[in-house]
Each structure stands twice: as structure tokens, then as C-alpha cells.
């Protein structure tokens, strides 16, 4: 195996770090966190830098980069601003859905705008009564002479309030033979209309990601708003899960890396009993544990990304990477917070925000319990759900 860093990835890492130092310092990040909103102009700026269209094909104004490159960017964004990385990941996945299953017209109209940061698309899947049991969804859409009409409710839909459209997973056709996965479609529903109401949820972490509840009351969508094949929406989504889990893992690698970096720096500078606190084993040992786990989750994430980029099966590795990275980030931010002590609780400290943001990982975008079920099934064990 070749562990030599790819030059283009190193350049991308440095570009992202320079961007934060130059244009998005901690003070601005904190302002967005408190406001629970990422301004639209920031997405346009990321579009100018080429980061919004990273996975968009070159013929539509993107870079056509592979998931390895996307994982590098996601890690670096999360290292400084996890909420930004969360929304970028979701935008990247909606772009992939359009890229893989959109009609020629949808691709030509929307992918260039996504790459420029001019068009923001949210994704509505979870519902109040469904959770992990996505196929129990109650949102319905019917096609009439004037297009689609959508009825239902979505929960935990990130940045729905700021989006131009919401890609809604809904039932468009009856269940056939008890197979709930059939008859679901992805309907691209315009956000700004009377039939769509959005309520912002005040989460403890990932505040700037703008998580929302969406109410669809006779919401309108054009007749050609279905992305992909009608009735096959669930199967379209299944093909994106590995990449989503890889990018999610990369995000929590970045958060773990940031927590370790801050704790090590603090341990070097803070003194007690006339010596740096980093000289005490009680401080060194938990940081050594975090450093070791960081290398582990980075390697499994890179392996999963490499498998995906080479067209190989990576479902098991992607799930394991998501599981390991999110659980590690929770432990790491806890250990690093203890090193900082009281200062870690001060809002001026990035550790306070990292500690909160990391708590989302074990149950988003899928619960780690469900991930373990999937991994167990991959091991040949009986299906547990």
C-alpha cells in the first residue's frame, strides 16, 4: 500500500486552511453559530473557490473530483466549522443524486447553479413518526393536470429555510406486494410557496446548519419535478449511502483532529505547579489515546474512500468508518474538553462548539445502532431489523 500523500490533496488542505485564516476566522464562525444561519454569500464564495462543484461533472461547471478528494475537503471544513461541513455534505449528496439520476434538462439547469453556489437544495427524508424506519413515511404526492401536489411533514431537514428547493422523498404510487420500498419518488419541490412552511429547530449542536421541520400542505411542484425514475426514489438513495457515510466519517475525523490540536496547544501553554500541564501523565495519556484513535479513523475512512473511488464494494468499510469516526469524535471532544478544564466551557473557545457539534454524529445521518445492525448482517449474521 502507498501511504504517500497526494499532492493535489495537500494543496487543497492548505487552500482550505488559508481560506479560514483569511476570510472565516473563529469570531465570524461564532457569529454564525449564534445566529443559527450560514449566509447565502458564503455558499457563493465556496462556489467561486470551486468547492461547491467538487463532485459536479466538468461539463456542468464542476471539477468532477472523486470521493477521496471530497473527503479531504469535508475533513478540512469540519476541522474549523462543522456546521458548514454538514451542509456542504448534504449539498454534495443532492448534487450527486442529480448527477446520477436527473434528467438532461435538470442537469443542464441545476448542476451549473449548484456548482456556483447560486442554487441551494435541501433534502427531506426523515419524518416525525419514521426515524430510522424511513419506509414508514407518510408524505404523499399526486400528479394532476397542473403538476404535483405534495402533502406531509419532514423533520430534521437541514437548511430548508434557506433552500431554493427541497428534494422530498414521498410516496407517489401504492405499495406493491407489501414491498414498501417500491412506489417512492424524489420530488424536487420549490421552497418559496404558500404550501411550504418551515420551522427552525434550536438544536444544541450544529446550530448554523439550520435544522428545520417542514410542513407540506398542498405544495406544488412541476410535472417534471421527479428526479430519477418515478417509484424508484428509495433505490436511487441507496446508491448514495456509501459516499454519504464516507463523507460523514471524514467530517468527524476533522472534528477529532481539531479537538486534539487545540488540547495539545493548551497543554503546552497552560502551567500549573511551575510547569506546563502537558508534562503530567494525567494530561498526556488521554491525548495520546485521542491521537491513536485519530489515526485509526483516518485510515479506515481513507480506505473506504479509496474503495469507492476505484469502483469497488465499500459498503461495509463505509459503515464502519461512520461508526468509528463518530464515536471517536464524541470520546475525543470529551477528553480534550477535560484538558482545557473551565476554559473549554467558555464560548470563545472552539472546543465548546466542537463538544456540542460532535454529539450529533452517533445518530445522524443514520443511528450507529442501525449501522451496527448493517455490519452484523454483512458478517453473515441473521438480519436483526
DSSP code per residue over 165-193:
EEEEEEE-S--BTTBTTTTEEEEEEESSS
In this predicted structure, what is the pLDDT of residue 119? 95
Question: pLDDT at position 1, please?
Answer: 61
Nearest residue to 66 (alpha-carbon basis) of 365, 304, 364? 304
- For residue 344, give the DSSP letter: G
What is the C-alpha separation between 376 and 383, in angstroms, rounded? 8
Q: Is residue 70 a contact partner of residue 54, using CB atoms and an 8 Å limit?
A: yes
Superfamily of domain 123-230 in the CATH hierarchy: Butyryl-CoA Dehydrogenase, subunit A, domain 2 (2.40.110.10)
Nearest partner of 334 among 348, 344, 324, judged by Cα: 344
Number of H helices, E strands in the chain: 12, 9
Which pLDDT score, from 0 to 100, does residue 175 have? 87
Q: Rounded to two decimals, what is the model's pTM?
A: 0.96
Domain layout of the chain by residue ranges? 7-119, 123-230, 240-378
| Domain 7-119 annotated CATH 3.40.605.10 | no
Strands 184-190 vs 165-171: parallel, antiparallel or unpaired? antiparallel
SS3 state at 129: coil
| C-alpha–C-alpha distance, residues 275 and 76, integer Å | 33
Q: Which CATH superfamily is domain 240-378 in?
A: Butyryl-CoA Dehydrogenase, subunit A, domain 3 (1.20.140.10)
One pLDDT digit (tens) per residue for the chain, 385 residues: 677 878 999 999 999 999 999 999 999 999 999 999 999 999 999 999 999 999 899 999 999 999 999 999 999 999 999 999 999 999 999 999 999 999 999 999 999 999 999 999 999 999 998 777 888 899 999 999 999 999 999 999 998 999 999 999 999 999 877 788 899 999 999 999 999 999 999 999 999 999 999 999 999 999 999 999 999 999 999 989 999 999 999 999 999 999 999 999 999 999 999 999 999 999 999 999 999 999 999 999 999 999 999 999 999 999 999 999 999 999 999 999 999 999 999 998 999 999 999 999 999 999 999 999 999 999 999 998 8
Instruction: Report the sign of the C-alpha dihedral through residues 98, 99, 103, 109, in that order.
Output: positive
Amino acid at each position: 500500500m502507498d501511504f504517500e500523500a497526494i499532492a493535489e490533496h495537500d494543496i487543497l488542505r492548505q487552500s482550505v486552511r488559508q481560506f479560514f485564516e483569511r476570510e472565516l476566522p473563529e469570531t465570524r464562525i461564532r457569529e454564525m453559530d449564534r445566529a443559527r444561519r450560514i449566509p447565502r454569500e458564503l455558499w457563493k464564495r465556496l462556489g467561486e473557490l470551486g468547492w461547491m462543484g467538487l463532485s459536479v461533472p466538468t461539463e456542468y461547471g464542476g471539477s468532477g473530483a472523486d470521493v477521496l478528494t471530497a473527503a479531504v475537503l469535508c475533513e478540512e471544513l469540519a476541522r474549523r466549522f462543522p456546521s458548514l461541513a454538514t451542509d456542504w455534505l448534504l449539498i454534495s449528496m443532492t448534487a450527486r443524486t442529480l448527477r446520477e439520476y436527473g434528467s438532461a434538462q435538470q442537469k443542464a439547469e441545476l448542476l451549473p447553479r449548484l456548482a456556483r453556489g447560486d442554487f441551494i437544495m435541501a433534502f427531506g427524508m426523515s419524518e416525525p413518526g419514521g426515524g430510522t424506519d424511513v419506509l414508514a413515511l407518510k408524505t404523499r404526492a399526486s400528479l394532476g393536470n397542473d403538476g404535483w401536489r405534495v402533502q406531509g411533514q419532514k423533520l430534521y431537514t437541514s437548511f430548508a429555510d434557506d433552500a431554493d428547493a427541497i428534494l422530498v422523498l414521498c410516496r407517489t404510487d401504492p405499495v406493491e406486494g407489501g414491498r414498501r420500498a417500491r412506489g417512492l419518488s424524489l420530488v424536487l419541490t420549490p421552497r418559496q410557496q404558500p404550501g411550504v412552511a418551515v420551522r427552525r429547530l434550536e438544536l444544541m449542536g450544529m446550530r448554523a446548519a439550520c435544522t428545520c421541520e417542514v410542513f407540506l400542505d398542498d405544495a406544488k411542484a412541476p410535472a417534471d419535478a421527479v428526479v430519477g425514475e418515478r417509484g424508484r426514489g428509495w433505490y436511487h438513495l441507496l446508491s448514495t449511502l456509501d459516499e454519504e457515510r464516507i463523507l460523514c466519517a471524514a467530517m468527524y475525523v476533522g472534528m477529532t483532529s481539531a479537538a486534539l490540536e487545540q488540547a495539545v496547544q493548551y497543554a503546552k501553554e497552560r502551567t500549573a505547579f511551575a510547569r506546563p500541564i502537558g508534562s503530567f501523565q494525567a494530561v498526556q495519556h488521554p491525548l495520546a489515546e485521542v491521537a491513536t484513535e485519530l489515526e485509526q479513523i483516518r485510515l479506515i475512512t481513507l480506505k473506504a474512500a479509496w474503495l469507492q473511488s476505484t469502483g469497488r464494494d465499500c459498503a461495509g468499510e463505509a459503515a464502519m468508518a461512520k461508526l468509528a469516526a463518530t464515536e471517536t469524535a464524541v470520546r475525543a471532544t470529551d477528553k480534550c474538553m477535560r484538558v482545557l478544564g473551565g476554559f473549554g466551557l467558555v464560548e470563545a473557545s472552539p472546543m465548546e462548539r466542537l463538544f456540542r457539534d460532535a454529539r450529533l454524529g452517533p445518530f445522524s445521518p443514520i443511528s450507529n445502532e442501525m449501522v451496527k445492525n448493517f455490519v452484523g448482517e454483512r458478517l453473515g449474521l441473521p438480519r436483526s431489523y
